[in-house]
Amino acid sequence: MNQEMQIFRETIERFAREKLAPEAEAIDRHHKIPETLMQEAAKMGLFGVPFSEEYGGSGFGWRAYYMMIEELAKVEGSLPSVIGAHTTIASNSINVSGSEEQKKAYLKPLAEGTYLGAFAITEPGAGSDAAGLRTRAEKQGEYWVLNGTKCFITNAPSAGVIVVFAANDLSKGARGGITAFIVEKDTPGLSIGKIEDKFGIRGSETSEVILEDVKVHESQILGEVGQGFKTAMRVMQNGRLSIAAGALGAAKGAFELAVNYAKERKQFGRPIADFQMIQSKIAEMKMEIYAMESMLFRTIDLLEQGKPFNMEASIIKAYASEKADWIINESMQVLGGNGYIKEYPVERMLRDARINRIFEGTSEVQRVVIAREVLR
């Protein structure tokens, strides 16, 4: 790690420890990240880490971004989810497929943290089968008219822009039938529907986005007409690595708690860390953390070398999210009764991390991707 990255990591680690961790319990209880914390994160440039300075980013690149997500997720799950959806799938859609004008008009304020971004592909009838979406985009002169309902959209209630995926041709689906649009939040006809009450990451907003005759100019098309699904699949690779980095961070956070607890908690006249069954748990957890870390670093290497990493992103996303779940659960076991009560953060960490096996493609869908690439 070079010196600049080391300083960046220490800065994020300090922010996570001193600013985010003390708010973690309240974020979960009130379903809200304090505005002051969001502003501080924006001032530190945390909403545009991988993007170039020309477009309002910090210019640190993807490795630094994933490192940041890992550090934040060690202490809390909502903020990394908010930043993750905002950066890897919403802003990054504009980064990879946007025109120069679109990058200046939208990527810049997104990366500077002026407002949040959201990415809307999921619909009530199209989850794992995202290409089966039914939101329609109809051309009317220089405009396109969008009609449909999106669900489970992260950041939507607070977002300034939403990248909306809609069908320009229902018969073509993923092969030329889906277009991505940059839709400003105050466009007439766009409204926020039900805001979900969730099991975990309760400080991250998740809602419906309702589109009723939403008229957007053709200059708001992201990339080419019919090529939206390609944009979605491309940015989700970055998204899946972000989820893996978050899972790794949460696993490390819970592991550290368990190790410290095991050294201090005494039963039968000695620290529970003296018992071989506890030692075995600690060793197994450490082995999995090492495996997760190695897989993540190797996949980031591929990304940085400009090599394909679609299958690898699915491997690490499924592996890290499942192992993090297991590690946090084992940490709860090490803490005994204290692991199960809200005075200790492990139960919140378990709830926050559970989503990692579901969003941006479930564990089952990641296995479909892996098997497809292996068997092709």
Ligand X SMILES: Cc1cc2nc3c(=O)[nH]c(=O)nc-3n(C[C@H](O)[C@H](O)[C@H](O)COP(=O)(O)OP(=O)(O)OC[C@H]3O[C@@H](n4cnc5c(N)ncnc54)[C@H](O)[C@@H]3O)c2cc1C
Contact present, 203 and 27 (Cβ < 8 Å):
yes
Q: Which is nearer to ligand X, 239 or 339 (CB)?
A: 239
40: Cα separation from own chain's centroid = 20
Q: Which SS3 state, helix, strand or coil, does residue 102 take?
A: helix
d(CA 111, CA 107): 6
Residues found near ligand X in the complex (CB under 6 A): 85, 119-122, 127-128, 152-154, 198, 206, 355, 358-362, 364-365, 368
Q: Which is nearer to ligand X, 81 or 102 (CB)?
A: 81
| Closest-CA residue to 296 (of 31, 57, 63, 30) | 63
| Token output for 176 | 């030329």
Give the nearest distance from C-beta 194 to ligand X in angstroms: 13
Q: What are phi and psi of 44, to 5 degrees?
A: -80, -5
d(CA 62, CA 68): 10
Instruction: Using the Cα atoms of residue 185, residue 27, residue 207 and residue 240 in order, give the sign of their dihedral.
Output: positive
Determine how β-strand 159-167 pairs with β-strand 178-184.
antiparallel
Active site residue 360: yes
Contact present, 272 and 333 (Cβ < 8 Å):
no
Q: Which is nearer to ligand X, 47 or 359 (CB)?
A: 359
Q: Which SS3 state, helix, strand or coil, does residue 252 take?
A: helix
Q: Which is nearer to ligand X, 8 or 115 (CB)?
A: 115
Using alpha carbons only, how large is the chain's radius of gyration in Å?
A: 21
d(CA 182, CA 99): 12
Residue with tokens 């020309």: 54
Give the nearest distance from C-beta 167 to ligand X in angstroms: 15
Contact present, 314 and 304 (Cβ < 8 Å):
no
Q: Which is nearer to ligand X, 130 or 334 (CB)?
A: 130
Secondary structure of 106-141 in HEC code, one letter for each residue: HHHHHHHCCCEEEEECCECCECCCHHHCCCEEEEEC
Please name the helix (run of DSSP H) or strand (run of DSSP E) that holds residue 217, with its range, or none: strand 206-217
Q: What are phi and psi of 196, to 5 degrees?
A: -80, 145
Q: Which is nearer to ligand X, 128 or 267 (CB)?
A: 128
d(CA 37, CA 41): 6
Please tell me which residue in 25, 208, 360, 373 is annotated as part of the active site: 360
Q: Would you name the residues annotated as active-site residues?
A: 360
